[in-house]
Amino acid sequence: MENEEKPLSKLKFWSSNREELSERSDYPKIVLFSALFGTATSSYPVTVLSASLPRVAQDLGTTDDSVTWVLAAPLLAFAVITPIAGKLGDLHGHRRTYLASFLLGGVLALLTALSWNVGSLIFMRTLTQAATAAAGPSAMAIILSVYGRKERSKALGLWMAVVALSPALGVVTGGPLIEWLGWRTLFVVQGLLVVVALFIGAKTLPETQKQSDVSFDIPGALTLGIGVGALLVAVNRGIVWGWEHPVVIFSAIISPLALIAFRNIENKTKMPLLPPKLMAKPNFTLPIAVQAILQAAYMGAMIIAPFLLERRWGFRPTIIGLLMLPRPLAFAIAAKLGGTHDLDRGARRVSITGCLVFATAMLIAGVGAQQKWLVVFILGAGLAGAGSGYIRATIANTTTLAAGDQDLGVAGGSLNMLQMVGGTVGITLATAMLGTSTSGSRFMAIHLAAGITALLAAFLAARIKEPTE
């Protein structure tokens, strides 16, 4: 009877050490909760901040185009940093990388509250996102390290669901905070939550296997960062400034050169940042491509939602945030469901279904936007969240299975990188298409473009092979 496991609440949880916790049968659940809470804190302000972009632009005296960089620039940083962070986790341990990421991210989130203009806000948000970039791939690797292969998809589904719900929590709590105390309060709350997540993570998370006997691919990291960063700058600024702008031309030239150099370096180095053997696996590259393309459509549609709700209906930030809730809520439910269906229906079927649901949702949302039918638009937005969420666990599981346990960080980093690249491109294109328009037809066109993009993702998803094939 002495060895009988007691409820967690009766174990003096906080006086136990990691070794004692690791002996519990429910230790994987403890790790999952810890990683879930930590990852969720990094995305806390996203939805409510996006809903408040019109107000932030007004408070800081800037344009809608400029203020969208508050979301786009951090995504760019995330895209550049995540594969590097994932590799660092594989080399030196994901627990160590995770905790270091959150320590720095918490400090920077608090400093973001001191931003005095749109430039400083973009800069601090970008640094914060770069600092916390390691949290995603490291959390994924830690979760996968304590779960068996048959249980991983369900665990990832729950992880994706909670990550999706954190912005929803941000809407519920952040909307009133913005109305009463201003948008800067969001970053104070985020910083405090990150500190709590850091404490919980240090108490519970296990260290993963280290590969300290190998070196880090610095030339590969530099060329990849330059290539991806220049690509996003070229696309983002080319639409706004014009393709003949010197910065755009320079970025467009540098990006392919840097990416070619990256490929050559990876083919020659003994310890590549992104092993060529992984890129040769269709079940590694195809799911990532599907996720990146669908993310472009998802973020493009999401970024214009607050402008649509303000310009077409005249709602204030708190109401806008609440009206945007169905999207992350549906995402969370569908992510949990998709993680379960992955085992029964297969990765290909789940991925195709999610993309087609999203495409249908964009048609519904577009009609609602054009006709000024609020209920129809909200229905479409909710279905879009469901379609996007449904594939997340499947994509992550398929990618990590293709990579193998030795490259979990690389797989997570690569997935997050191209997901953020897609999101940044989607935000850029949608913002450029919208401009200052209040036309329902313009909003309809953007949603239709997102739907067509989702159909392209469905086409690629049809080529994913099941592990047994």
User: 295 pLDDT exceeds 80?
Assistant: yes
Say which residues have a Cβ less than 8 Å from residue 3's Cβ, sequence separation at least 6.
Answer: none
pLDDT of residue 380: 95
Task: Work out the pLDDT band at 359, boundaries 50, 70, 90.
Answer: very high
Question: Tens digits of per-residue pLDDT, 10-19?
Answer: 445 555 566 6
User: 251 pLDDT exceeds 80?
Assistant: yes
Distance CA 263, CA 195 (A): 38
Say which residues have a Cβ less than 8 Å from residue 288's Cβ, sequence separation at least 6.
Answer: 395, 399, 414, 415, 418, 419
The per-residue pLDDT of the chain, averaged, comes to 79
* Torsion of Cα atoms, 90 then 95 then 96 then 99, to 10°: 130
User: 366 pLDDT exceeds 90?
Assistant: yes
Are the C-beta atoms of 399 and 152 separated by less than 8 Å? no
Mean pLDDT (whole number) for 422-436: 77
Task: Work out the pLDDT band at 347, boundaries 50, 70, 90.
Answer: confident
Domain assignments of the chain as residue spans, ordered by start: 18-207+273-461, 217-272
pLDDT of residue 331: 86
Rg (CA), the chain: 21
Kindly state the tokens that stand for 388: 């996007």
Maximum Cα–Cα distance for the chain, whole Å? 76
Kindly state the tokens that stand for 233: 């700058």
Kindly state the tokens that stand for 72: 């786009």
Query: Which residue's entry shows tokens 């005249």?
Result: 314
Distance CA 416, CA 421 (A): 9
Dihedral sign of CA atoms 332, 443, 46, 127 in order? positive
pLDDT of residue 6: 46
Mean pLDDT (whole number) for 406-415: 70
User: 26 pLDDT exceeds 70?
Assistant: yes
Distance CA 143, CA 391 (A): 18
Mean pLDDT (whole number) for 211-220: 67
Distance CA 117, CA 121 (A): 6
Kindly state the tokens that stand for 407: 């490259």
Total residue length of the chain = 469
- Class for domain 18-207+273-461, per CATH? mainly alpha
Mean pLDDT (whole number) for 228-252: 80
Are the C-beta atoms of 347 and 394 separated by less than 8 Å? yes
